[in-house]
Amino acid sequence: MTEPILEPDLAIVDPHHHLWDLRPLLPMFPEPRHAFVEALVGAAHYTFDQLHADTHTGHRVIGTVFMECGAFYDASRGEALKVVGEVEYVNGVAAQGASGLYGDYRPCAAIVGHADLTLGSRAGGVLDALQAASHRFVGIRHAGAWDADPDVLGPPFHHPEGLYLDSTFREGFAELGKRGLTFDAWLLEPQLGDLLDLARAFPDQPIVLDHCGTPLGIASYRGTLPDHFERWRTSIRAIAQCPNVTVKLGGLAMSFCQLPDRGPAAGLGSEELAAMWKPYMETCIEAFGANRAMFESNYPVDRWGASYPVLWNAFKRLCANASDGEKRDLFAGTAARVYGLEHLLPSTP
């Protein structure tokens, strides 16, 4: 699907993408593969060249934020510290972009890594090592996605039930605030109450809710999105009452959500995708406000349902009636404030 780029001069900070090489791991997943794993087969190799190609398809992407994905861990460091390898690798990609050889574009200008917060207070040492690995390191994500139906997430993602409520996890979580670091949260729609409890317990800790809270339309949830919409909306509005939480507007093109219900690269146009996502996106923007919401690509995962240029066209359609200031926040400003990238933003009149 190709279409003209809408508002090509609008500056974008893409606050959520991955880099990885999954090709050596694919044989570990026997066929028939889970829908999410199948969606990754076509994007099993996603490093600087692929990211550069996607972010240079017509939209004005001025910078990006790397999001942890368990890639390029350093096996020589031991279990707790192997995560430092991912930040070291991504810092090299960021240095490549910062060379100026690729124009004003700054990929991976901020890096969100991973630390196991179930280490409790010992997680502080891991956070220190991550900070030492790169001045671009700004925070971590420790995903908590879980569901009683194992077919929802498939083999790659089986986090403990109630992780964000666990006292040892919260002991590790407290180490973030001591270092001024952000926390990205990925969990599923039925779990949103856990995040609400966490946000209320740590009101001064910046938290970013990924992927609109991940409404589910897969496995035992297939066909139930309309049934659970009101429950999802109630949770989003409650979380938005916590001023320390911002929300990422994206992730709906993942196979988990089934929006669209076919992929990869479903070939739908931006008008159709915008109409499909509108109830979720508008709810989030109304609840959080433009200054606490940011559009994200979640690439290459969201390639399941949309190419990179069509994805951003859909986002632009969703806020066609927004003010210039609101658009600046949604597409770049909020991400820049949360992840310390305000120096990338173009000056405004």
pLDDT, tens digit, for every residue of 122-149? 999 999 999 999 999 999 999 999 999 9
What pTM, to 2 d.p., does this model score? 0.95
pLDDT, tens digit, for every residue of 83-129? 999 999 999 999 999 999 999 999 999 999 999 999 999 999 999 99
Answer yes or no: is 349 within a domain: no
Cα–Cα nearest to 256, from 287, 292, 214? 214
Which domain range does residue 264 map to? 11-344
In whole angstroms, give the CA distance from residue 57 to residue 111.
23
pLDDT, tens digit, for every residue of 16-30? 999 999 887 666 666
> How many alpha carbons lie under 13 Å from residue 88 in its C-beta half-sphere?
13
Which pLDDT does position 26 carry in this prediction? 63
- In sign, the C-alpha dihedral spanning 311, 255, 112, 286 is positive
In whole angstroms, give the CA distance from residue 185 to residue 205.
12
CATH number at 316 reads 3.20.20.140
pLDDT, tens digit, for every residue of 288-303? 999 999 999 999 999 8
Which pLDDT does position 317 carry in this prediction? 98
Answer yes or no: is 6 within a domain: no
Q: Please enumerate in sequence order all residues whose Cβ is within 8 A of that of 234, keeping only pairs 6 or more positions apart, or say none.
A: none
In this prediction, residues 154-172 reach a mean pLDDT of: 90
Which pLDDT does position 114 carry in this prediction? 98
Q: Dihedral angle at the C-alpha atoms of 38, 43, 46, 50, nearest 10 degrees?
A: -170
Which pLDDT does position 266 carry in this prediction? 66
Answer yes or no: is 148 within a domain: yes
